[in-house]
Amino acid sequence: MSATAEHTPLTDHERSLLTEISDTARTENAAAANLIAQIMNYTTSRATYAHRAPGTMFDSETAHRSAVAEIALQLSISHQAVNTYIRLGYTLVRLPDVRAAFTTGELPLSKIRVIDERTRAATGAALQRLDEAILAAARRLAPTPLGTEIDRLLIEDDADWAARARRDAETRRKVRTRKLPHGMGQLTVTLTAT
């Protein structure tokens, strides 16, 4: 890119297009937040005693699995995708400032996923203390640097966090295979690096 191209001013039309892009992204972010809230509400509602079949015992775990299956069918997505939305919902409950920013469309789903991934092993008390700092970082950083900053905040707040995060990560070691077209396959491995 030439030096001249770097300093070319935007036209009014281009400025208008950037505003439209930003508005569309905010709407999409708010819709994702609303979808997660609706999924949380539905699974909570279906997991109540009021939905048991007459003459049967109530089993909240079965009711939850049923709600997940119903949502997956309605949205034509996998059970795993629904459970991911539910997990994100629980993360947002633990971080009310982040949830508020996501609900208004200020934060994208990609950053919420990073926040969820990096805060899973954190205590509720630590997240209460760090909610505002995590939100400030999410407002200014792209997803990858955001994850690094959240790690730094958690380590600074709680020295034992790193050990808990490592143990949590080790529980998610796995090997997955998937058939691909034309006789091909895909192997995905998640394991410890050291």
Residues 88, 145 share a domain = no
Q: Is residue 101 part of a domain?
A: no
Residue 61: per-residue pLDDT: 81
pTM of the predicted protein model: 0.79
**Of 45, 60, 94, at which residue does a domain stop?**
94
Q: Which residue, among 47, 49, 84, 52, has the nearest Cα to 67 in the 3D structure? A: 47
Domain that includes residue 51, residue range:
11-94
Residue 173: helix, strand or coil by DSSP? coil
Is pLDDT above 70 for 50? no
Residue 56: per-residue pLDDT: 66
- Compare 149 and 193 and report the one with higher pLDDT: 149
- How many C-alpha atoms does 80 have within 13 Å on its Cβ side? 0
Residues 82, 31 share a domain = yes
Q: What are the residues whose beta carbons fall under 8 Å from the beta carbon of 1, sequence distance 6 or more?
A: none
Residues 86, 18 share a domain = yes
Residues 56, 26 share a domain = yes
Cβ atoms within 10 Å of 135's Cβ, excluding its own:
20
Residues 137, 78 share a domain = no
Amino acid at 52: R
**Overall number of domains in the chain:** 2
Residue 58 pLDDT class (50, 70, 90 cuts): low
**Of 94, 120, 150, at which residue does a domain stop?**
94
Q: How far apart are CA 57 and CA 53, in angstroms?
A: 8
Is pLDDT above 60 for 51? no
**Of 67, 94, 121, at which residue does a domain stop?**
94
Q: Which residue, among 82, 76, 78, 80, has the nearest Cα to 46 in the 3D structure? A: 82
Percent of all residues in the chain with a pLDDT value above 90, rounded to a whole number: 63
- Tens of pLDDT, residues 80-94: 999 999 999 999 999
Longest Cα separation, the chain: 77
Residue 53: per-residue pLDDT: 61
Residue 105: helix, strand or coil by DSSP? coil
Residues 30, 86 share a domain = yes
Cβ–Cβ under 8 Å, residues 134 and 98: yes
Cβ atoms within 10 Å of 167's Cβ, excluding its own:
10
Of 3-17, 72-86, 96-110, the one with minimum mean pLDDT is: 3-17
Residue 82: per-residue pLDDT: 97
Is pLDDT above 60 for 138? yes
